[in-house]
Amino acid sequence: MIPALKTSAKNGQSITSWEEDEYMDTLVEIQDVTKVIKGRTIIDSVSFDVKKGEVFGFLGPNGAGKTTTIRMLVGLIGITSGDIKILGSSIKTDFEKAVSHIGAIVENPEMYKFLSGYQNLIHYARMSKGVTKEKIDETVELIGLTDRIHDKVRTYSLGMRQRLGLAQCLLHDPQILVLDEPTNGLDPAGIREIRDHLRMLARDRDMAVIVSSHLLSEMEMMCDRIGIIQNGKLIDVQHINDFVQGNEKVYEVEVDDPDKAQRMLKSIYPELPIQVTENSVFLPLVRDGIPEMIKEFVRTDVKIFAVREVTKTLEDRFLEVTEFKGGAGHARTDSK
Amino acid sequence: MPGLIQNEWMKIFRRPGTYVMIGLLLIMTTVAGAFIKYQESGGTVPDNTEWKRGLQTQNESYQKQLEEMGEMVPRDMKEQYQREIALNKYRIQHDISPNEEYSIWGFVSDTSQLIEFAGLFTIIIAGGIVASEFTWGTIKLLLIRPIKRVKILGAKYITVILFGLMLLAVLFGYSALLGGLLFGFPEKAIPYLYYYNGTVQEQSMGLHLIAYYGLKSINMLMLATMAFMISAVFRNSSLAIGLSLFLMFMGGQVTRLIAMKYDWAKYSLFANTDLLQYYEGVPMVQGMTLGFSIMNILIYFLLFQVLAFYVFNKRDVSA
C-alpha cells in the first residue's frame, strides 16, 4: 500500500525520492526544523514527511526531543528555523488553516474535570468550524463512551479519559492525527484499545497518524514507518520491517561441528562477525548468499540440521542504531 | 468569537465557586439592608422646617474658618469647603431640602460600597482564567484549535469584563429591589446635585446612581485587567489574585501617602482610577484633571493588554 520510500537522514539532510503522483499523498512535511531555547539546540534540523494512510512512529529515549517536535507540529511551541507544512499550509504563517487539519493529544489528554465528557466535547466543537451535534454523538459512539458521556470527567478512569481525548481530536474530521505518548499510563487492555483505534483510523479513514513513544514493543505493533530521534537529531527513518531487520539478516545454522564450520566460514568470509554456540553458528548474510553458504558446508562435510533466520527485535535494533548513528554511545541521555 | 466567550462563560458557571461568590454578594446586600432598616426604625425623621437657616449658618461658619486660617488652610480642605458652600447656596436658592427621607436611592447608593467585593470576585476570576488552563493542563488542547491565540485571549478578557459587569448588575438590581421593598420610593423625585468646575448641576437620581456605579467600578475593572495580565504573563493565579487584591486594598492608601510628599504620585494608577474625585471630592494631587486621569487609565490599560497579549502569543507551551 505504501510505496517504498528511500529516505536517508544524515545530519538532518533528508533526500527523499518518489514519483510525481505521490505528492498528493504527503500530508505533513517537516522541513529542516530547528529549535533553539536559550542558546541550546533542542531540535537540530529535523526533516521528514508523513503520508496518507500511514502510521508514523516517532521513537527516541526520554529527552531526545520527541515531545518538542510534536509540539512544534501543532503550534504549541514556536519554530526557530525551518518550517512545517500541513497539506501545504505553513504552521508558522497560516496557523489556523494548517491546524484545522490536525487532531492531537499532547501527552495525557487533560480535560476540564468539572465539566461532563459531553460538555468538554461541546467546548472543543465550538472551536472548530462545522461540528454538528450529530457529529459529536457519532464520535462518542465510535469511541464507545455513550453510557458515561454525561458524567463529570472527574469520575472517569484513565482509559476513559484517553478515549475522550481521542474523541476530542476526531470531532472535526482531521486528516492528520498527532499523538504524543498515547499509551502512557494505560493498562494493557487500554493500550490495545488505543492501538486498534489508531490502526482502524489510518486504514479506514486514510488518515496520517503520527505517534511518539519510547516503548519499542508498542511501536513495533502500531507503526508502518518509524523515525528515530536522539539528542534532537533525526538519525534514521525506516519502514518498520526494514528497520527491525536491517538489510542483512542473521542466520543460525545448526551443525554437528560448530568449530569446524567456523574455521571454514572464516576462510571464505574473513570479515564476517561469526558467533559460535554449542551446536550452531550465527552469521549475518543476505538472502541470496544462503545457497552458496550451504554448498560450502556440504563441500567441507559439515552436517546441517537446520538453517533459521534470527528475528531481531525492535529493541535490539533501536539500541544498535542509537549507539552507532547517534555517536553518543548510550541510548539514554538526559531525562526530561 | 461568540462561541469562545460562551465556552469561557460555561467554564466559569460550571464551577460551584462562582455561585458562592454571587451568593455572598447577595447575602451581604441583604444584611446591609436589614441593618439599615433596623437602625432607621429607631431614629426619627429630622425636623426640617428650618433647614434654610441651618444651611445659612453652616455656610457662614465655613466662610469664617476659611478667612481665619487664610494661607494655612490645606488645599483639599479649602476645596471641600468651597464645594459645600456652593451646594448649600444652590439648595437655598432652588428650595431643595437636604433632609430627604431614606429611600431606595439612599440604599442603592450605600450598597455601592459592596462594589469592592464585586471587584474582589472579578479579580479572582480574572486571575484564574488563563493561569488555571496551565495548571489544569488544558491549555494544550485549547491552543491546538484552528483559532489564533490572540482571539482566545481576547475572548477570555471579554468574559472577565462581562463577569464583572454581571456582578455589578446583580448588585445594582438586587439593591434596587431590596431598597424598594424595605424603604420604598420617595414621594417626589429629588434631583441629585453635583459640583464640577465651580458650578452646581442637577441630575436625576437613577441616572446619577448608574453613573456612580460605573465610575466606582473603574477601579475594579482596572485591577481585574491587571490580574488578567499577571495571569497571562506568569501563569500563576495565586500571584495574580494576591497581588491585585493587595493593590486593591492598599494601592489607594499608599498613593495617598506618597501624594502628600511627591507630585509624581499622580502618575500612579490608583491616583486616577477614582474619577468620582472630580465630582464629589478633591483630586489627590493638585492640578490633576478628569482628562489627565482618563489618559492615565487608558495608558495603563494598554500597557496591561500589550504585555498580556505579547507574552501569551509568544509563549512556548512546554510543560
Q: Does position B232 have pLDDT exceeding 90, yes or no?
A: yes
Return the residue of B nearest to A100 by Cα. Answer: B146
Q: Pseudo-torsion of CA A326, A327, A331, A334, nearest 10°?
A: -90
Average pLDDT over every residue of B59-81: 78
Range in A64-68, A127-131, A191-195, B181-185 the model is least confident about? A191-195
Q: What pLDDT was estimated at residue A243?
A: 65
Average pLDDT over every residue of B158-168: 95
With bands split at pLDDT 50, 70 and 90, how would you rate the model's confidence at A14? very low
Distance of alpha carbon B105 from alpha carbon B179, whole angstroms: 7
With bands split at pLDDT 50, 70 and 90, how would you rate the model's confidence at A217? confident
Sign, CA dihedral A117-B136-A194-A156, equals negative
Q: What pLDDT was estimated at residue B19?
A: 96
Q: Does position B308 have pLDDT exceeding 80, yes or no?
A: yes
Determine how β-strand A26-37 pairs with β-strand A81-86.
Answer: antiparallel
Average pLDDT over every residue of A186-214: 82
Q: Do B11 and A108 touch (CB under 8 A)?
A: no
Q: What pLDDT was estimated at residue A84?
A: 93
How close does chain A come to B134, measured CA to CA in Å? Answer: 10
How close does chain B come to A187, measured CA to CA in Å? Answer: 22
Report yes or no: A31 at the B interface, CB cutoff 8 Å.
no
Distance of alpha carbon A64 from alpha carbon A42, whole angstroms: 8
Q: What pLDDT was estimated at residue B208?
A: 86
Average pLDDT over every residue of A206-215: 84
Q: What pLDDT was estimated at residue B86?
A: 83
Range in B61-70, B143-152, B219-228, B306-315 the model is least confident about? B61-70
pLDDT in tens, B262-279: 888 889 898 888 888 887
What value does the mean pLDDT of chain A take?
80
Taking residue B259's Cβ as centre, other Cβ atoms within 10 Å add up to 20
Q: What pLDDT was estimated at residue A282?
A: 84
In DSSP terms, A269 is beta-bridged to none
Q: What pLDDT was estimated at residue B42?
A: 52
Average pLDDT over every residue of A292-321: 79
With bands split at pLDDT 50, 70 and 90, how would you rate the model's confidence at A237? confident
More confident of the two residues A274 and A172: A172
Which residues belong to CATH 3.30.70.100 in chain A? 249-310
Report yes or no: A170 at the B interface, CB cutoff 8 Å.
no
More confident of the two residues B66 and A44: A44
Report yes or no: B6 at the A interface, CB cutoff 8 Å.
yes
Q: Do A107 and B140 touch (CB under 8 A)?
A: yes
Give the 3-state DSSP-derived string for chain A, with helices as H, strands as E and coil as C: CCCCCEEEEECCEEEEECCHHHHHHEEEEEEEEEEEECCEEEEEEEEEEEECCCEEEEECCCCCCHHHHHHHHCCCCCCCEEEEEECCEECCCCHHHHHCCEEEECCCCCCCCCCEHHHHHHHHHCCCCCCCHHHHHHHHHHHCCCCCCCCEHHHCCHHHHHHHHHHHHHCCCCCEEEEECCCCCCCHHHHHHHHHHHHHHHHHCCCEEEEEECCHHHHHHHCCEEEEEECCEEEEEEEHHHHHHCCCEEEEEEECCHHHHHHHHHHHCCCCCCEECCCEEEEEECHHHHHHHHHHHHHCCCCEEEEEEECCCHHHHHHHHHHHCCCCCCCCCCCC
Residues of B with Cβ-Cβ distance to A89 under 8 angstroms: none
What value does the mean pLDDT of chain B take?
87
Residue A256 has, within 13 A of its CA and on its CB side, a CA count of: 7
Q: Does position B216 have pLDDT exceeding 50, yes or no?
A: yes
For helices B237-261 and B205-234, give the axis angle rounded to 10 degrees: 120
How close does chain A come to B226, measured CA to CA in Å? Answer: 25
Which residues belong to CATH 3.40.50.300 in chain A? 6-101+174-245
Q: Does position A103 have pLDDT exceeding 60, yes or no?
A: yes
Report yes or no: A71 at the B interface, CB cutoff 8 Å.
yes
Q: How many CB pairs under 8 A join A and B?
A: 83
How close does chain A come to B132, measured CA to CA in Å? Answer: 10
How close does chain B come to A22, measured CA to CA in Å? Answer: 27
Q: Do A111 and B146 touch (CB under 8 A)?
A: no
Q: What percent of chain B has pLDDT over 90?
A: 45
Q: Does position A335 have pLDDT exceeding 60, yes or no?
A: no
Q: What pLDDT was estimated at residue B123?
A: 95
Residues of B with Cβ-Cβ distance to A109 under 8 angstroms: 141
Domain map (residue ranges) of chain B: 2-45+101-313
Report yes or no: B5 at the A interface, CB cutoff 8 Å.
no
Average pLDDT over every residue of A75-96: 92
Residues of B with Cβ-Cβ distance to A100 under 8 angstroms: 146
- Domain A249-310's class? alpha beta
Q: Do B145 and A127 touch (CB under 8 A)?
A: yes
May I ask the CATH architecture of the domain A6-101+174-245?
3-Layer(aba) Sandwich (3.40)
More confident of the two residues A172 and B40: A172
CB-based burial, A275-302: b 16+ in 10 Å, e otherwise: eeeeebbbbbbeeeeeeebeebbeeeeb
Q: Does position B197 have pLDDT exceeding 50, yes or no?
A: yes
Report yes or no: B113 at the A interface, CB cutoff 8 Å.
no
With bands split at pLDDT 50, 70 and 90, how would you rate the model's confidence at A315? low
Q: Does position A327 have pLDDT exceeding 50, yes or no?
A: no
Q: What pLDDT was estimated at residue B182?
A: 87
Q: Does position B249 have pLDDT exceeding 50, yes or no?
A: yes
Residues of B with Cβ-Cβ distance to A38 under 8 angstroms: none
With bands split at pLDDT 50, 70 and 90, how would you rate the model's confidence at A3? very low
Distance of alpha carbon B141 from alpha carbon A165, whole angstroms: 9
pLDDT in tens, A142-191: 888 889 999 999 999 888 888 898 899 889 889 999 988 877 777 788 78
| Facing residue for B145 by CB, picked from A37, A112, A128 | A128
Residue the block writes with cell 536559550:
A38
Q: Do B146 and A128 touch (CB under 8 A)?
A: yes
Q: Does position B138 have pLDDT exceeding 50, yes or no?
A: yes
